[in-house]
């Protein structure tokens, strides 16, 4: 089975150890929201940059590789790759973690537009946005597992 959270099995383990609400997604996201700020940041940082080094050297998880491919991030022109690289670097410099978006719900242009728009946010807003996007990623992965 595909891991629901990138390199963060602790989320599923904690959800499994707690009483269930009868909604797996809600159980998992309750764990994320109850996590310490440091744990939340580690969860965010466990995600790869979009069209980043992990995509080039093929170290993405199977799920991330498929998700990035669904948005065309595995087929970027040199110009598009350079733009992603520059925006990823600016985002990481500003916030200290990678830009997270549920790529299956958008396309290359939408992703680039979202990075540019979200660069104007403050760090707390971006942490909340990243967690919300992780929630969307997990929701779709759960649906795929059914």
Full pLDDT tens readout for the chain, 146 residues: 568 998 999 999 999 999 999 999 999 999 999 999 999 999 999 998 887 654 454 556 777 778 777 777 888 888 988 999 999 999 999 999 999 999 999 999 999 999 999 999 999 999 999 999 999 999 999 999 98
pLDDT value at residue 3: 84
**Residue whose C-alpha is closest to residue 127's, from 36, 10, 63:** 36
Collapsed DSSP state (helix, strand, coil) of residue 58: coil
Q: Is 7 left (phi over 0), alpha (psi -120 to 50) or beta?
A: left
25 is catalytic: no
pLDDT value at residue 54: 45
Cβ atoms of 17 and 31 within 8 Å: the answer is no
Domains and CATH numbers, the chain: 9-145 (1.10.3330.10)
Collapsed DSSP state (helix, strand, coil) of residue 19: coil
H-state helical runs in 35-121: 37-45, 53-56, 62-70, 78-95, 108-118
pLDDT value at residue 40: 98
Q: Which residues have C-beta within 8 Å of that of residue 13, sequence separation ≥ 6? A: none
pLDDT value at residue 64: 74
Cβ atoms of 55 and 74 within 8 Å: the answer is yes
24: which 2 tokens? 């797996």
pLDDT value at residue 2: 64
Q: Of 7, 33, 47, 85, which is the active-site residue?
A: 47
* Full-model pTM: 0.89
């Amino acid at each position: 089975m595909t891991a629901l959270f990138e390199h963060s099995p602790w989320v599923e383990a904690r959800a499994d150890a707690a009483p269930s609400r009868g909604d797996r997604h809600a159980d998992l996201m309750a764990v994320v929201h109850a996590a310490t700020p440091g744990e939340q940041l580690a969860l965010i940082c466990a995600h790869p940059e979009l069209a980043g080094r992990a995509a080039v050297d093929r170290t993405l998880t199977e799920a991330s590789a498929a998700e990035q491919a669904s948005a065309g991030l595995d087929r970027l022109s040199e110009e598009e790759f350079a733009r992603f690289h520059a925006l990823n670097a600016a985002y990481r410099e500003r916030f200290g973690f990678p830009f997270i978006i549920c790529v299956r719900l958008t396309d290359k242009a939408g992703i680039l537009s979202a990075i540019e728009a979200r660069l104007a946010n403050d760090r707390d807003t971006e942490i909340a946005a990243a967690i919300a996007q992780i929630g969307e990623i997990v929701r779709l992965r759960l649906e795929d597992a059914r």
